[in-house]
Structure 1
């Protein structure tokens, strides 16, 4: 419980240290990847998801798994719970992987931001030290 509050206090006192999730990545997504990154593409376009009647809150990278659940539910209604469990499990695993990828991206952004702040602080200290030594002479 104390760790949660200390993180919140630090975030309130030093907002520049923490990335804002809503704004997305501020650093180059390919920075640090020599061979590039595999792009994360949605399986359906927005129009296709609208045509397939996928609910708004399920329109993400796991929409194709949710579509499989919808089809299975239609096929095995009203006893779909036992039959559609593999589809539901696949969708849940996709959701977990997606949230894990988001968390990794946030941590990467956090590390790069703190690294940038450390570099700026080091440069400012060096300039201040150089200025002091010039004033003493």
Structure 2
């Protein structure tokens, strides 16, 4: 594949010719996973960016700016508090996320504004208790 495309030949036909010749030489035989679909998780819906997302997950990269990541973390913290087994755990979860929110409020990182304020621990605990009584 080191040769250059001849002038006057379209890229598609030149590329097709290169692929055909490589196939004839057997360069595509014995490739790992040959004849199998590309792995893209167990999700039944197709996501055209699945391979990018897997690569970023393997590399530990985040696509969200820090403030948006904290918003997501805050949502997850409220969900975790709602499912917590005890009031003590609810308080710890909410106090931990409140500390992170306060840090960002006083030292904003680059990116969009956070748009959150610390949660009222007592209100979250009250909601947790009410959900347990139902």
Q: Which has the higher contact order (CA 8 A, sep 6+)?
A: 1
Q: TM-score range by the shorter chain?
A: under 0.3
When Rg is computed on C-alpha atoms for both structures, the one with the higher figure is 2
TM-score by length of 1: 0.24
